[in-house]
Amino acid sequence: MTQKTTNEIRTLLNSAQLDFDQVVNKALNNYLPKLFPSCPFTEDICTVKQCLECEVFKKQ
């Protein structure tokens, strides 16, 4: 698989008549949860402290 620069990707998307910003936004929204899991209750980025202080966690 060949790595492409941002400008190369932008050119390809423009040729395909796709909006670069929309494609990037969708890709990041799909990828970021894999890097930064979010709390199922608040949708904030999960932290251990947040989980330990969570009312739902305390009731279990």
- Work out the average pLDDT over 2-27: 92
pLDDT in the model for residue 11: 93
- Work out the average pLDDT over 25-51: 81
Cα–chain center distance at 44? 12
Of the pLDDT bands very low, low, confident and very high (cuts 50, 70, 90), residue 56 is: low
Q: Does the pLDDT of residue 17 top 90, yes or no?
A: yes
What is the average pLDDT value for the chain, to the nearest integer?
83
The tokens for 40 are: 């199922």
At 38 the three-state DSSP class reads strand
